[in-house]
Amino acid sequence: METQDVLEPHLPTLAEMQKWTDVLGRAQQLMLEQAAGATGRVLPFDPETVARIQTSFADEGLALWQRFLDSGGLLRDQPDPPPADSPAARKDRRFADPAWTTHPFYDLIRQSYLLISDYLMNLADAVDGVDPKAKAKLRFATTGMLDAMAPSNFPLMNPTVVEKTIQSGGENLVKGLQHMLADMEKGQLTHTDGTQFELGRNIAATPGKVIHETPLYQLIHYAPSTPKVLATPLIIFPPWINRFYILDLSPEKSFVKWAVDQGISVFLVSWKSADASMKDMVWDDYILSGQVDAIDTVRDLLNVPSVHTIGYCVAGTTLAATLALLAARGEADKVASATFFTAQVDFSAAGDLTLFVDDEQMKLVDRLSSSGFLDGRYMAATFNLLRGRDLIWNYVVNNYLLGMDYPPFDLLYWNGDTTNLPARWHRDYLTQLYRDNMLVVPGAISVAGTPIDLTQIRTPAYVQAGKEDHIAPLESVWKLTEHLAGPVRFLLAGSGHIAGVINPPVAQKYQYWTADAPQPTLDAFVAAARETKGSWWPDWAEWLRGIDSREVAVKGARKPGGGRLKAIEDAPGRYVKGR
């Protein structure tokens, strides 16, 4: 049976048109009530702006109904397309099924939804005279509401689901229910088939040994694949809000394996997922007992004066604090270079995550962390909300309504492999950095009693940002360059927080932008930047060798377990497997 035959066509009545008007009015009222609650007062709107928005919406809506009725309503064979400049004409992946534009009923629903969405977003943007964060919260809430209201999320309004239900005799809904109940059982939305991956076999499989272990982390030393390696080793600090193997996915995507193959001595910190024993851990612990301890451990093991470092996301933020501490102690020479993957230190432009740090959100975090740590599933849900259309509703449709099998995808497997966070550290991080932006105030934060100042960091730095990063926005990452006193190479990578980093040369995907000379502002960088197709990893490797190109033979401690630190277990180690 064709999708077009599923619904009995009929012309909409006046009552039905009035119903649509009522739905819009209630949606508008909900948005205004939410906005008033967020700001604590009646929202000021510019009357002329609101009048223009309402007039535009009324005109678009009337034109939609006029086209619909003039062409015979649901009795027509082919809907008339909206004008090219209409909000209802824009492309939207949720409405990719041809039935959304060829079937009169679905076309009406689609166009009506897009018009309402455009109207409510314009109304949210029209709010004036309030705190920018309150306005951003209103816009975020409106976007979330509209994403949830999308007709594609409802089985009887989605032509793909209707057709699949008829073809399968409803089996898709039964299978979808099984998926939903399983997700409710584990308290987390499933994105991929996790049975297809095994740590150490086809993911996190780069050969190496755990050579050092503390209550906070394991240190992995990867086996060299070249006869000689750079004299100065590299320590990678991944974020402890995720598992480290985002940098060691399948072999063809692994940054770790690629770096090893470039002749670099690679060490990596695998953080322990927090439990009740870590309830009192704070940022100082991750700086001193984490990063500084790892730096000193590798220096002593290889008898080298300094190491290269990489900090990804929150570990990059922490690396900046570590460098500032070493500078204050007169020990800056312990680090030869610092690379920052999508890291922030100035949170004044940190994007939508700043919407989750008000007093009410902090009370919720405290309740969720009563056992001394925050269950990683709550953090995962927060990140999913930032891209709800792609990371929530897309999977609701595919998993629950269409009952589709989960595809095996290593990146999505990693994304669902959550880690727990120490409660005190998490709260301090959200309040002191995201909310109060203390890290960029010289002396405002102390580590073990030593005030730190980012402007004292003279370590050569490589700062990488993602053009479409929704977690660490480009504008926010750029600010890091404004607080460092040493030489900085800034690079803008195509894509976002993950794909912008994990882009191996063999994939030949995306692009990156660099400038021949340091630029004073982000706008100046964009104006001067030169685009290069493909991966930025070779650019980074060239920069690293430009700092120190000396090489040594692979022998003794350059082999995992070959020095005074003996192998404890094979990589990836047991910390990454702890839940």
Give percent helix, percent strand, percent coil of the chain, each to the nearest 5. Answer: 50, 15, 35
Say whether 525 sits in a helix, a strand or coil.
helix
The answer to whether 518 is a known catalytic residue is: no
b vs e for 461-470, b when ≥16 Cβ sit within 10 Å of the residue's Cβ? bbbbbbbebe
Say whether 288 sits in a helix, a strand or coil.
helix
The Cα-based distances of 504 to 134, 224, 250 in angstroms read 40, 19, 11
b vs e for 8-39, b when ≥16 Cβ sit within 10 Å of the residue's Cβ? eeeebeeeeeeeeeeebeebeeebbebbeebb
Query: Which residue is listed with tokens 């063999």?
Result: 506
H or E stretch including 125?
helix 104-125
Backbone angles phi, psi at 461, to 5 degrees: -130, 145
- The CA distance from 127 to 39, in Å, is 11
Backbone angles phi, psi at 98, to 5 degrees: -55, -25
- The CA distance from 45 to 42, in Å, is 9
- Comparing CA positions, the residue from 240, 424, 419 lying closest to residue 314 is 240
Annotated active-site residue in 38, 205, 281, 313: 313
Crossing angle of the two packed helices 14-39 and 104-125, in degrees rounded to 10: 30
- Comparing CA positions, the residue from 122, 92, 123 lying closest to residue 110 is 92
8 A C-beta contact, residue 495 and residue 464: no
How does DSSP assign 436-447, residue by residue? T--TTSTTSSEE
- The CA distance from 322 to 316, in Å, is 10
8 A C-beta contact, residue 425 and residue 248: no
Say whether 121 sits in a helix, a strand or coil.
helix
8 A C-beta contact, residue 248 and residue 254: yes
- The CA distance from 567 to 102, in Å, is 64
> What is the separation, in whole angstroms, between the first and last Cα of the chain?
48
Which segments of 303-441 does DSSP mark as H helices, in order? 314-329, 359-368, 376-386, 388, 394-395, 410-416, 423-428
In one-letter notation, the amino acid at residue 195 is: T
Residues with a known catalytic role:
313
